[in-house]
Amino acid sequence: AQKITQTQPGMFVQEKEAVTLDCTYDTSDPSYGLFWYKQPSSGEMIFLIYQGSYDQQNATEGRYSLNFQKARKSANLVISASQLGDSAMYFCAMRGLDAGGTSYGKLTFGQGTILTVHP
C-alpha cells in the first residue's frame, strides 16, 4: 500500500519569499512517481511538477522545484519568490506500480496544505 503524508495543514509566507511544503511518502514499489498539484479556490486541479524515483536530479519547473530525498522518503515542494496568486491548496501525490509491474496511473494523494501568501 502507498501512503502520502502532508503534515502542514496550513502555511503562511510573505510575498517574494520562498516557502517549502513538506511531503513524505511510504511505498514498497521499486519504481514510482511523485507529483504536486495546486488547487486554487476556484477548485480546479493544476499539475505543477513531477519527480521520478530514478531521476538523478531534482525536478524544476519555473519557480517550483522538488527537493527529493529518496532515503528519507520525502518530496518537498519549494516555491521561490512567492506571489499572491500562489495562495491555494497544494497536494502531493504518488503513482506506483500494480502487481505485475504495470502502473495503471492511479494516484494516492496526501491531505493537502493550504498556502496563504501575504502582501
Partner 1 sequence: NAGVTQTPKFRVLKTGQSMTLLCAQDMNHEYMYWYRQDPGMGLRLIHYSVGEGTTAKGEVPDGYNVSRLKKQNFLLGLESAAPSQTSVYFCASSYSTGAATSYEQYFGPGTRLTVT
**Which spans of this chain sit near partner 1 (rule: CB under 8 A)?**
4, 31-33, 35, 37, 43-45, 47, 50, 52-53, 91, 93, 95-97, 101-112
Is the Cα torsion angle 8, 107, 64, 27 positive or negative in sign?
Answer: positive
We find the least distance from the C-beta atom of residue 75 to partner 1, in angstroms, to be 13
What is the DSSP code string of 33-57?
EEEEEEE-TT---EEEEEEETT-SS
We find the least distance from the C-beta atom of residue 41 to partner 1, in angstroms, to be 12
- Count H helices and E strands in the chain, helices first: 0, 12
For residues 46 and 81, which CB has a smaller minimum distance to partner 1 in the complex? 46
We find the least distance from the C-beta atom of residue 10 to partner 1, in angstroms, to be 12
